[in-house]
Amino acid sequence: MDIAILFCTCVVVLGVASIQHQLTRSDRRVARVERKIDAVMRHLDLEEEVPRKDEILTLVRDGKQVQAIRLYREATGAGLVEAKQAVDAMS
């Protein structure tokens, strides 16, 4: 009985490790594709359209950086660091 539990635990641990490895690999691939798309957009002098940009700019002008970052994250799905960098660039 103890050997069966140990075996099942090992299988689960190995399965989780395998899934995590695949996710990490996928994250790296997505990041690489995003960098390439960003380079192409810069080369073509294109700018990404930000939803609700007018509202975000109003918050920035009013000195409400935290609310602007929160709204940027809600509108774009960006992470905290990316949203802060984008809002700072709008200042």
**pLDDT of 4:** 87
Q: What is the pTM of this model?
A: 0.57
First CA to last CA across the chain, in angstroms?
Answer: 65
pLDDT in tens, 55-68: 999 999 999 999 99
**pLDDT of 29:** 93
Contact call for residues 86 and 50 (beta carbons, < 8 A): yes
CA distance 69 to 84: 6
Q: Looking at residues 37-50, what average pLDDT do you find?
A: 90
